[in-house]
Structure 1
Amino acid sequence: MRKSFIDYAMSVIVSRAIPDVRDGLKPVHRRIVYGMYESGLEPGERYRKSANTVGYVMGNYHPHGDSAIYEALVRLAQPGSSRYVMIDGHGNFGDLDNPPAAMRYTEARLAPIAMQVLSDIDAETVDMRGNFDDSRKEPIVLPSRVPMLLLNGSTGIAVGMATNIPPHNLTEVVDATIAKVDNPELTSKELMQWVKGPDFPSGGIIMGTEGIEEAYETGRGSIPVRGEATIEQIPGSPGRQTRMGIVVTSLPFTVGPEAFAKRVADLVRDEKLTGISDVNDETNRLGLRVVIELKRDAHPEVVLNNLYKFTQLQQSFPVNTLALVRIPGKGEQFRPATLPLADILDQFIVHRTEVVTRRTQYQLRKAQERAHILEGYLKALENMDKVIKIIRAAQATDEARQGLMKEFSLDELQANAILEMQLRRLTGLERGKIQAEYDELQKKIMDLKSILGNRQLVMDIIKKELIEVRDKFGDKRRTRIEGSGQLDLTSKDLTPNEPMAVFITTQNYVKRIPLDSFKRQKRNTRGVTGMKTRDEDDLQHFFTANMHDRLLVFTSGGQVYSLEVMDLPEGGRTARGLALVNLLPIGQDETVTAVIPVSEFRDDSYLVMVTRLAYIKKVQMSDFSNIRKNGIIAISLGDGDQLGWVRPSSGKSDVIIGTGDGMCIRYSEDELRPMGRTARGVRAITLREGDRIVGFDVTESNDDGSILVVTNDGFGKRVKLGEFRQQGRGGIGLIATKFKSAQSRLAALRVISKGDQIVIATANGIVVRQAVDEISSQGRMATGVRIQQIGEDDSVVSVSPFIEPTEVELPDGGDSGSDSAPE
């Protein structure tokens, strides 16, 4: 049983499923091509029924099922399956989505490039062997002029092994082969100067070169491939408006548009894909086109990324260049081998060297045989009278033959040729032609012997014939290579980059809410609930950020942690949220004192930090680009001190610091040199006894804009920046506001500009969104106007800017965190 199985396995490997590295064909394909050549179905000849060809191949060479032979013939004729079709089909040969018509209806003949694979097969260039019943001979391999294994690729499953070789561009492969002939030491990676990567008949985009390099250097790899898709305005039908849509114009290899469109429709029906209203396959003879119409509220980029993740629009092509290689010294015995690119070309060059050598030997033998006959003619013509006399005196042909051989030292071949010579060749003109032909043959014989004696001349012939094929059949690449080889889509790729409102309480509960949940309100309104808090738990931080931002979470102990906005739990306006300890390893004795949303970490951006005991320092933003899971040190703190505020800056800003007693200081950021993360910083402002810092912001070094000051009891105003002159770092500052009552304190301050919107939050979780233009602009000594109604046992804790969806990309790397009242 074991021996029988091994015999079966070897039969499948060698005779069915694995291609020969030399001509790139499996036995069934080789027999089809050779059978059609033998039947005279060359390019330009009349088409013949496919059933006739299948019957001829099955009856003479391939004793297997007719359906398998026809399926192989169809594959050689389908432009979607073969990069360079070897069979010119006439009729319905199907496509990737639809089967071909029955073989009794279709017709076929050889395509022009097939003649390059069969070139010189009649010149004894390859070995022949008996067919299955030994009634005729078939070629073991075809004398292909180009490496078809790379051009059309191959796929097949044997016993215990499989092959999957992608197609390539003829021009690139020929150029690489020529380079390999000139320099046999070229490596697979060096050959990528010419062979950029696979070139699929369906086009598409190969993502990056990493997979290509691995496949070419080892013979195995995975090449990420995407179809081509664009986001466009789709014209609506009569009575309908135009809408956004995704137009797919190419798909990965072996993926048909009908199957792709069906997959999309199934996912939409199962609610695994959202934002899609309709899918139409508009593919025709002009090319592939699948139109995916989007709903009005859909995010096209997100829908496209979901198509990449869940459909065949993106997939990997697993490469395994397994082919049959002849065993040296074992005649026509083969072994399967996984071959790098350089080895494939080496094997092909060895094959072509043998083909050219055998063809030259065949041509030399034929030339020598012809020259031998012509030598006999010339001897006879020089002694024509004697020849005629001998022939006339002979009683029989054999006697004449023997007489000529004896008289003129001829062999039997020459004597027979003279006896068969026509009388018209005895003229002087014919004699001249025979002499000229003989002289030409002598020159040809010398040239052929030179080729056989000089390997370089053989290499030159191989290159010359490669160039001829390239010039005749070469074309441009269809598959582009671009981008990164990383196909795994992250959560960001599948999530719209929408603005979110983020809430964090004093007990470190956190949640996010879509920002469009809050409508803009006028001043002196109570607002809507943004977060439901429990007893003894107040809202401490409120800010806006984009879904794709990363949050830098700074704690009172001077640590900083990293967290993605999309990782935050989303809840309704009355939901409490999730404990932050479930997301970050924050200690029980730590509280969140500042949160900075960051879209991009840049070397020319900075973070400015202020502590409760009025220390300040500036650190490069890029120092926080790689934060460990357990966090890193953001600032060193003295005894009893805590980190209170962090703001992003451009490095050329002015610092604005406000205190609970209503004092405010402004000075240039130039007074702060960049420090390391572990530094403590320098004195920011001098505080009066009992006073404390309640607000901190940065602004450009000019007097444009205003400072918004808000008190704990809901009063606020805008003050022109120009009223706060620049002072030296560490001073006591200027008065920013007067208070309505003795219990009033400054709760927050922000730098604002005309047209800005803000969101004010209270300790009990009440949120109001306002336009700053509706807030009165007053001097430093004014008390302001009521901008929010504050309930009993409640107070303002934070003021945060509202960012419109079109304003989420900030030049300083992100929106600043919220102002929060110190405890």
Structure 2
Amino acid sequence: MEKEHIQELPLEDVIGDRFGRYSKYIIQERALPDARDGLKPVQRRILFSMHTEGNTHQKPFRKAAKTVGNVIGNYHPHGDSSVYDAMVRLSQSWKMRTPLIEMHGNNGSVDGDPPAAMRYTETRLSAIAGELLTDIEKRTVDFIPNFDETTNEPVVLPARFPNLLVNGSTGISAGYATEIPPHRLDEVIDAVIMRMEKPECTVEDLMTVLSGPDFPTGGIIQGIDGIEKAYKTGKGKIIIRGKAEIEEVRGGRQRIVITEIPYEINKASLVKKMDDLRVDRKLDSIAEVRDETDRTGLRVVIDLKKEADAELILNYLYKATDLQVAYNFNMVAIYNKRPVLMGLHRLLDAYIEHRKEVVTNRSAYDLEKAKARHHIVAGLMKALSILDEVIACIRSSKDKQDAKNRLVEQFEFTEEQAEAIVTLQLYRLTNTDITALKKESAELEKTIGQLQAILESAKKLESVIKRELKDMKKMYATERRTVIEAEIQEIKIDQKAMIPSEDVLVSVTREGYIKRTGLRSYSASGGLPAMKESDGLLFKQEMNTTDVLLVFTNKGSYLHLPVHELPDIRWKEAGQHASGIVSGFKDESIIAAFSVRDFSTRQFILLATKSGMIKRTELAQFNVQRYSRPLTAMNVKGDDEVCAAALTDGGSDVLMITHYGYGLRFAEEEVPVVGPRAAGVKGNSLKENDYTVAVITSSTEGAHFIAVTNRGSAKRGGFDQFERTSRAKRGVVLVRELKTNPHRIIGAARLDESRDYYVRMKKGADVKINVNALKKVDRYSNGSFVVDEKEQGAVQMLLLTEKESE
């Protein structure tokens, strides 16, 4: 047995080497097109195999399975699906600007439907694909052995037109990707000719004839600057949008009709996305979305409701769906066996260089054949001039070889001429044949002269290339399908105008359950919504779906919640927790919620912390575009917490109340206006272990407040009992100091007739405060007990809740 040969190598070396080889193969032999003929290896092998088998556009169609089998067996040892998928794409008119294969049968659709199996479809080369293979038998391109060395295959096709720019390419390999858009054939040919005639031409010059990509699906390109950048550097960005028109229909209604969609977009998915906007009520103005596409062309109809703003809806569709997409050029191709990012100049030059080589090789081949034939014709003419002697020589010879040898010796014919003479048919020995030979000789001499001129003159070589390109343009030119607009249109959408206006009831509980409810559902149910025993209704207000709910937490965060995006839940059911509405909301408790209709009004959000920091921020600062996570309302440091939030008009008075019973009143103007991320300024000066409990604002002197102590006492007081002073002071006492078991304030709030007030106990049910029975008392009073003396130590907090409906 053969002895095993084991190598011990570091794993990273082995992996690196193997992956390097794999990457080289993927880059060069699979995913990226050649800069010369614009084809990937599998595409080239399909076209060459069909050409070799005579499956051309002049012949009948053949089963696709037969071609796939030939390609796999002779050139491409991979799965049949990879070959068939490549073949199908070459036949799809919505992906290829000039399809290279004609297919009978189902070859897929713009909706993403799969093609029929290859046993059902029939194919043949298209007429223009034949132009890619013209002259391949004239040694115009290099051939290499196939995978099993049973035959040869071309390295590149002769390509009589610049296929890479005409049909574009897309692909992803190891470390490289390519995205080259298709172009209009005659424009690309004009650019090639300009590049040959004016080698110093700029991209701007070329763009006078090659204005930009031309997609088979049509559409509108916006952004000439992006095209120019891509042509200069190989990379650039443009916008492609579908072509849509607004039509008037009977009854004063309008509809949007889409007749072209962006390149490579799945129409069925686009239509479904549009209909989802209607179903999800993100576009309430859409009545129906219909796909009316048939054999006459693409047509998607969007019927609108009466009074709908069609322009606004169309702009929203451009912004929210694939009716408008960004296209990024990344023009990478294989050039000199390496992947290269190429601008327009390099792509054109690569093609021109290739065509020069092809035409030179073809001319050399034709010259060789012409000279050989001219030599034979000269021998035949000489033989006919001494016909009797030639016949006598042949008749006296032993065999064919002897006859050839004697002709060479006696009459000085060459070996090739002697072979032609001895194989000459008798009918050719007529008087008319010598005339034909003379004519052929003259034509051959002319052809030889022309071919030699091409090989000797670069100018004549270029003229041949240009003439052939012009012939291609004449035969295969088509109209432009894609419209190009210079500027990218900025889409501005009034989001409020897109939201269906509806009055709803919005509720927020202390533990963070939020919902909106239809007014009909609320009217039918009434009372309080479903809540946990420990929870309480913090906010209940009639709002419009175009409004925004701002919710503030004890950690200095806030939630920006457009009402139309809140979960629509029946009144008697629990709402959805805030953590299910915005991501990242956890370990926070809600302290306040406000309804905002217009952020541009001159209002402020006032926030205060337990440690006595206070700040205010303009309401407009809380209007944001991205609100999927909690946002910062105040920079809270250490273990501090926000204890109060208020919506003010800028001219209110602020009353800060502390746990130890101090109250400090000052003008709101004393609090500087800062941004949301600021920490604020010192609001009041605290005793050791004291902390701020509540902050109450009022713009009227006669405002009342209610305060509750740890011993279950409730006290009603007024703003007028506190002299207005400046901030950062301790303030004056709100409760009388007792040496034993002193009253400590656990909660305070402004007195509001629309609310009910409860004392929350550590155990047992909440105790309702009869606000009407509370009389305003002086500043030193400790108020009236509202909790049984036996439970005084079990008081937890003051609870404000919206009044229950009657």
Alignment of 1:60-79 (within 5 A): 60-79=74-93
1:474 matched residue in structure 2: 477
Q: Does 1:217 align with 2:200?
A: no
Other-structure match for 2:23? 9
Structure 1 unaligned segments of length 5 or more: list them: 236-240, 327-333, 500-568, 592-628, 631-823
Trace 1:350-389 onto structure 2 (pairs within 5 A).
350-389=353-392
Aligned match of 1:571:
597
In the alignment, structure 1 residue 155 sits paired with structure 2 residue 155: no
Alignment coverage as a number of residue pairs = 510
Matched, 1:407 2:404: no
1:58 aligns with 2:68: no
Contact 2:604 2:650 in 1 (8 A): no
Amino acid at match of 1:282: E
Contact 1:220 1:321 in 2 (8 A): yes
State the Cα distance separating 1:338 from its structure 2 match: 0.6
- Contact 2:131/2:159 (8 A) holds in 1: yes
Instruction: State the match for 2:260 in structure 1.
Output: 250
Counterpart CA distance in 2 for 1:226 and 1:159 is 31
Given candidates 21, 30, 33, the residue that maps to 1:19 is 33
Match status 1:446 vs 2:456:
no
Structure-2 change in CA distance of 1:29 and 1:360 (3 Å): same
Structure 1 counterpart of 2:110, from 69, 85, 96: 96
* C-alpha distance in structure 1 between counterparts of 2:448 and 2:82, whole Å: 47
Cα–Cα, structure 1 residues 584 and 261, in superposed 2: closer, same or farther, change >3 Å?
Answer: closer
Task: Provide TM-score, normalisation by structure 2.
Answer: 0.61
Residue 288 of structure 1 aligns with an amino acid whose one-letter code is L
Contact 2:315/2:493 (<8 A) preserved: no
1:329-368 matches, within 5 Å, as 334-368=337-371
Q: Which of 288, 297, 300 does residue 310 from structure 2 map onto?
A: 300
Residue 316 of structure 1: CA displacement?
A: 0.6
Q: 1:145 aligns with which of 142, 152, 160?
A: 160
1:431 partnered with 2:445:
no
* Alignment partners' CA distance in 2, 1:270 and 1:409: 95
| 2:23 counterpart letter in structure 1 | A
Identity %: 44
- Tell me: CA distance 1:577–1:277, structure 2 relative to 1, closer, same or farther (3 Å): farther
Give 1:52 shift: 0.9
Conservation of the 8 A alpha-carbon contact between 2:231 and 2:343: yes
- Tell me which residue corresponds to 1:455: 458
SS at match of 1:24: coil
Cα distance in 1 for partners of 2:191, 2:351 equals 12
Change (3 A) 1:109 1:572: closer
Q: Take 1:305 and 1:357, find their aligned partners in 2: how far apart are those partners?
A: 55
Contact 2:283–2:498 (CA under 8 A) maintained in structure 1: no
Structure 1 pair 95–584 and aligned structure 2 pair: CA distance change class (3 A)? closer
SS at the partner of 1:291? strand
CA distance in 1, matches of 2:361, 2:602: 85
Letter in 1 for 2:231: Y
Q: Which amino acid aligns with 2:334?
A: L
2:292 matched to 1:282? yes
Contact 1:305 1:494 (8 Å CA) reproduced? no
Q: Which residue number in structure 2 is paired with residue 45 of structure 1?
A: 59
Q: Distance in 2 between matches of 1:145 and 1:428?
A: 43
SS in 2 for 1:349: helix
Q: CA deviation at 1:128?
A: 1.1
2:495 and 2:214 map into 1 onto residues whose CA distance is: 27
Rounded to whole Å, the distance in 1 between the matches of 2:489 and 2:254 is 27
Q: CA distance change for structure 1 residues 479 and 403 in 2, over 3 Å: closer, same or farther? A: same
Instruction: Give 1:250 deviation, angstroms.
Output: 0.8
CA distance, structure 2, for counterparts of residue 265 and residue 496 of structure 1: 15
Letter paired with 2:247: E
CA displacement 1:121-162 (0-9 Å, x = unmatched): 121111111111111111111111111000010001100111
Task: Measure how far apart 1:283 and its partner are.
Answer: 0.7
Query: Structure 1 residues 273 and 389, CA, compared in 2 at 3 Å: closer, same or farther?
Result: same
Say if 2:255 is the partner of 1:232: no
Work out the CA distance in 1 between the residues paired with 2:117 and 2:248: 42
**Is it true that 1:129 corresponds to 2:144 in the alignment?**
yes
Q: Distance in 1 between matches of 2:453 and 2:500?
A: 76
Deviations 1:605-650 (A, max 9, x none): xxxxxxxxxxxxxxxxxxxxxxxx99xxxxxxxxxxxxxxxxxxxx
**Offset at residue 486 of structure 1 (A):** 5.0
Matched, 1:583 2:613: no
Following superposition, the deviation at residue 483 of structure 1 comes to: 5.0
Offset, 1:272:
3.3
Q: Which has the higher contact order (CA 8 A, sep 6+)?
A: 1
Q: How does 1:156-195 map to 2 (within 5 A)?
A: 156-195=171-210
Deviations 1:501-521 (A, max 9, x none): xxxxxxxxxxxxxxxxxxxxx
**C-alpha separation between the residues in 1 aligned to 2:430 and 2:76?**
54
* Aligned equivalent of 1:261: 271
- Shift of residue 3, structure 1, vs aligned partner: 1.1
Given that 1:257 and 1:290 are in contact with CA atoms closer than 8 Å, whether structure 2 keeps it comes out as: no
The question of whether the paired residues in 2 share the 8 Å contact of 1:302 and 1:494 is answered with: no
Q: 1:34 aligns with which of 48, 60, 76?
A: 48
**Structure 2 gap segments, 5+ residues each:** 1-14, 502-594, 606-616, 623-647, 652-673, 676-806
Q: Evaluate the alpha carbon distance shift between residue 418 and residue 494 of structure 1 in structure 2; reply closer, same or farther with a 3 A threshold.
A: farther
CA distance in 1, matches of 2:148, 2:598: 80
> Shift of residue 294 of structure 1?
1.5
1:22-68 superposed Cα distances (whole Å, 9 cap, x missing partner): 01000111111111111111113111111111111111111111011
The amino acid that maps onto 1:260 is: L
Query: Deviation at 1:497?
Result: 13
Alpha-carbon offset, residue 118 of structure 1: 1.1
Secondary structure of the 1:249 match is strand
* Cα displacement (A) at 1:4: 1.1
Q: Distance in 1 between matches of 2:205 and 2:149?
A: 46
Distance 1:133 1:497, change over 3 A: closer
Check whether the contact 1:186–1:342 (CA below 8 A) recurs between aligned residues.
no
**Aligned counterparts of 1:150 and 1:254: Cα–Cα separation in 2:** 17
The separation in 1 between residues aligned to 2:597 and 2:426, in whole angstroms, is 109
Q: Which residue is 2:401 aligned to?
A: 398
Cα distance in 1 for residues equivalent to 2:597 and 2:650: 24
The amino acid across from 1:194 in the alignment is V
Instruction: Give the Å deviation of 1:232.
Output: 1.4
Confirm or deny that 1:310 pairs with 2:313.
no
Deviation digits for residues 222-242 of structure 1, max 9, x if unmatched?
A: 11110011111245xxxxx56
Report whether the alignment pairs 1:418 with 2:393. Answer: no
The DSSP-based 3-state class of the residue aligned with 1:476 is coil
Given the superposition, is the C-alpha separation of residues 270 and 483 from structure 1 closer, same or farther in structure 2, using an over 3 Å criterion?
farther
Distance in 2 (CA, whole Å) between partners of 1:443 and 1:9 is: 51
| Aligned match for 2:221, one of 206, 210, 215 | 206
CA contact (8 A) 1:211 1:485 kept: no
Shift of residue 96 of structure 1? 2.5
In the TM superposition, 1:412-561 aligns within 5 A as 412-486=415-489, 489-492=491-494, 495=497
Deviations 1:65-119 (A, max 9, x none): 1011110111011101101011111111111221111111111111111111111
Tell whether 2:329 aligns with 1:319.
Answer: yes
RMSD value over aligned CA atoms?
Answer: 2.8
Provide, for residues 353-410 of structure 1, a one-character-per-residue CA deviation record: whole Å limited to 9, x for no partner. Answer: 1111111111100000001111211221122122112112112222211111111222
Match status 1:196 vs 2:211:
yes
Inter-CA distance 494–436: structure 2 relative to 1 (3 Å threshold): farther
How far apart, CA to CA, are the structure 2 residues paired with 1:412 and 1:195? 55
